[in-house]
Structure 1
Amino acid sequence: MEVGLFQQQSLKLSMSKELSQAISLLQYSSLDIASFIQEQAMQNPLIDFGDAPLVTSRPSVYKQNANDDKDLLNSIASKQETLTEHLLGQIVFLELTTKEHDIICYMIENLDEHGYLKEDLMLVAQACSCNLEEVEMVLNSLQQLDPIGVGARNLQECLLIQLEQSGQLSDELEIILTEYFQEFAYKKWSKISKECSISLEQVQKYHDQIKRLNPRPGLLYATQAERFIIPDYIIKKEGDELVAYVNEELDFRLSVNDAYRQSLMLQDNHAVKPYLQEKYREFQWILKGLQTRKQTLNAIVHGLLEKQQRFFQHGPSFLQPLTMKELADYINVHESTVSRATTHKYIQTPFGTFSMKSFFTASLKLGTTEETSVMTVKELIKQLVEKEDKKKPLSDQQLTNQLLTEHDVKISRRTVAKYREQLNIASSNQRKVYV
């Protein structure tokens, strides 16, 4: 398969004075760059920018994102209701005294991102100059609001609130969640079955029921910036060619505001010329910094296309061992430049969107002399768990044995356990199902 190359003047970047000045821009995400440019334009009257993205006049396989009609800045700036706003909009329908209104507003303002009230109720009472009984009564009112489960003080209470309000809380399930919550969560179900005279199959059904609840109700009102990742580059397969598209929706065409400069030049003021010279130097620094940033990122993505070609062709399990130093040497920049430039940057691929840093991974020795990446081994573990018999899940030792016999990957059981935990895969005991 061929790889579509960039339109580029040179990949040989050096630590020039301009690059040294612009290095701070490398770590900025696309949104940070947009904010930076707008801020600079407000401070520098010579800077003018249009809405059109920067594009070269010559054709290139390294293309602009096809979704040109989407105004990303407008969508990000658009107003989205927060959890606080959603709750404050509901309390107007509650019959509350002035003091109770102040208490519930205080609670709402102190909910965490999950919708939980982590502050001790006694501290709430002190802050609101009231007694504990009043706080508990107002908390009960808060917990009746939408989304169901908001105002809970922990996961256990959040689940109980949702079950009770939806009419799903049986006496049996309430006992399990209040008296055996840890055993239930960590699948130590034999004790529950024995002491509560409940079959393991019934406990499994309760577990499946709980899994359908929302453990973090507040996340429904997370901000758009928190919920969505904006890719800087889009990699696609077109025929036998890998094509890299530039997502330039946040890139602006910068130019000098000649009309403003000419009007200042006509003024009879000796301080104007030095002022214009300083602002023009600032403009040149910004322009050069952005150009260097783009050139560096293009070089990095070009290098990733070459070094991780199998990943882009076949998926994450084919990620090759690659360090930042190896890529830095390949494109002739310093390793720290690659580290800075890949911070807060994302690449959209046919297999999902990945951070640029995820394409760098250490190597592991196979049973032979070959090497494989840590991500590849994690993907193999994930696949083995997905295919296992859920009634007889694979232990870490069994996973270790299958990695060796089926994939020629020789690693320790402890390493398998570490990778499994990093993948948020539960232990074999916790993965076991009974029905």
Structure 2
Amino acid sequence: MKMEFDLRMTQEQKLIMTQQMQMSVKILQMTNMEMQSYITKEIEENPILETEKKSKEKKDDIDYKELIKYLDDDFNYSNKNYYVNNEEEVSPFTFISAKKSLKEYLIEQVIDLNLSESLKYLCMYIVEDIDSRGYLYTNKNILAEELNVEISTVEEALKVIHSLDPPGIGGVNLIECLKIQLNKKQITDKEIYLIVENYLQSMADNKYAVIAKELNISIQEAQRYGDIIKTLEPKPSRGFYTGEETNYISPEAHIKKINDEYFVIMNNDEIPKLNINKTYKNIIYNDEDEKTVKYVKDKINSALFLIKSINQRESTIFRILTKLVEVQRDYFDMGEKYLKPLTLKELAEMLQIHESTVSRAIRDKYVYTDKGTIKIKDLFITGIAQNNYDDNVSTLIIKKEIKNIVESEDSKKPYSDQKICDLLKEKNFNISRRTVAKYREELEIKSSSKRKRY
């Protein structure tokens, strides 16, 4: 057997995701709140970086063009082509109120009550054991052991806690939470307490016939009790800051109409403006220690790329919002009914950028408009063919039709998904039963069996 070795050159296309590319993508999809935290962390880790507020030198005092000559990477910065929000009256933060801590709110109430000092102390101790839902995660026996007091003393303190606002606070579980609220409403019917204790799942499944039979009451009466229970709050802490919540909304921009023209005003007041510390420039010019110079160069490279990525993020979001305002002008003028079908891909083609760039740039981001704070993603709507018409209808319009149909139905005989589908076709909307079910669930409308009223 003769073995031959052959040397050949082949061309291969390969995408390599560098660390800088990863950081750029990561920054693009960050929300304003995430950007604040990320930049703060970068400032702590990179001594080259500082905020403009800390910098005593003006930005123009640093000769960046000269400085960049000493760096390994070549950065090309273009002028910003977007509006910056420097006006306090248009800041979306004007419309967002600060959340009060739940525990602070509870302790304030305890202090104002006419209680003995020992009982106040015990109540405040118990408040510290209330979790993010508003439930007490330590039972009364353990509390009594920890504090070396009688269980009756703990029960007295718990009675005080249960009397506080918000209703239901301090229950050890959902059942006790709901019972506390019923007590506060002075509801004494034993049947409603039995439903809370034993039939919550049956109530959720609309099985009032089963509940009625077991409690020996009418179906209508069982359903009336169910309606009362549904008005109660299963999570008493809702609306308060608990220390675990991170879902604040900080709109990326304000879309404002001025003289019949819409402007995109970027909301970047809360994002720290970055500078490069001038002190390190001298190290590059004067320091003969190669390791020190290399360290500073690396840190400046990193800092410059961060600044570039932040600017690029803001520019990309601005371009997307500007194009959205242009395409969806009728929506901003006249409302949801006039929202045009538009996909991420279509907008990406208009801007000559990749679809994934648009997707990342709008992810979990909001804008403030004259119609309130809206999710940017909601301005993208897929279209559905409408019979006898050449154009498409947005899914938003279809969903509104479904909602209207459900609201007008006989609650004793609610429409099935197939019936809703048939009614939509009568209105020239070409949609399948499966799609009706999907949109109904997205609208958080229950199935026909769970909508039935007795």
TM bucket by the smaller chain? Answer: 0.7 to 0.9
1:328 counterpart (348, 351, 362): 348
Give the corresponding residue for 1:214: 233
- Shift of the 152–413 alpha-carbon distance from structure 1 to 2, 3 Å rule, reads farther
Q: Does 1:244 align with 2:264?
A: yes
Equivalent position of 2:49 in the other structure: 47
Counterpart Cα distance in 2 of 1:291 and 1:226 = 25
CA 1:175–1:105: 2 relative to 1, 3 Å? closer
Q: TM-score, normalised by structure 1?
A: 0.72
Q: Distance in 1 between matches of 2:47 and 2:201?
A: 62
- Which residue matches 1:9? none
| 2:358 corresponds to which of 338, 342, 345 | 338
Preserved CA contact (<8 Å) 1:47 1:256: yes
Q: Does 1:373 align with 2:394?
A: yes
Distance 1:387 1:281, change over 3 A: same
Which of 360, 382, 406 is residue 385 of structure 1 equivalent to?
Answer: 406
Given the alignment of the two structures, is residue 64 of structure 1 paired with residue 46 of structure 2, yes or no? no
Check conservation: 2:92, 2:267, Cα contact below 8 A. Answer: no
Per-residue deviation, residues 399-422 of structure 1 (Å, max 9, x unmatched): 22332223x212223321222122
2:249 counterpart residue number: 229
Q: 1:402 maps to which residue?
A: 423
Deviation at 1:249, TM superposition (A): 1.8
RMSD: 4.7
| Cα 1:166–1:32 shift into 2, 3 Å | same
1:270-285 matched pairs, under 5 angstroms: 270=289, 272-285=292-305
Tell me the equivalent position of 2:12: none
Identify the residue that residue 304 of structure 1 maps to in structure 2. Answer: 324
1:351 counterpart (363, 367, 371): 371
Instruction: Show structure 1 runs of 5+ residues with no match.
Output: 1-14
SS at match of 2:264: strand
Residue-by-residue CA offset, 1:269-291 (whole Å, 9 max, x unaligned): 63554444333322221221112
Kindly tell me the number of residue pairs found equivalent between the two proteins: 404
- Paired with 1:377 and 1:409, the residues of 2 have a C-alpha distance of 8
* Structure 1 Cα separation of the partners of residues 137 and 420 of structure 2: 39
Higher RCO, 1 vs 2 (CA within 8 Å, ≥6 residues apart): 1
Q: Which has the larger Rg? A: 2
For normalisation by structure 2, the TM-score amounts to: 0.70
Tell me, which stretches of 5 or more residues in structure 2 are unaligned?
1-16, 60-78
Deviation at 1:19, TM superposition (A): 6.5
Pick from 161, 177, 189 the counterpart of residue 170 of structure 1.
189
Q: Distance in 1 between the 2:350 and 2:415 partners?
A: 41
Deviation at 1:164, TM superposition (A): 1.6
Displacement of 1:41: 2.7
Alpha carbons of structure 1 residues 285 and 156: separation in structure 2 relative to 1, 3 Å: same
Instruction: Name the CA distance, whole Å, in 2 between partners of 1:274 and 1:23.
Output: 26
Residues 331-340 or 138-147, more deviating? 138-147
Query: How many percent identity over aligned positions?
Result: 33
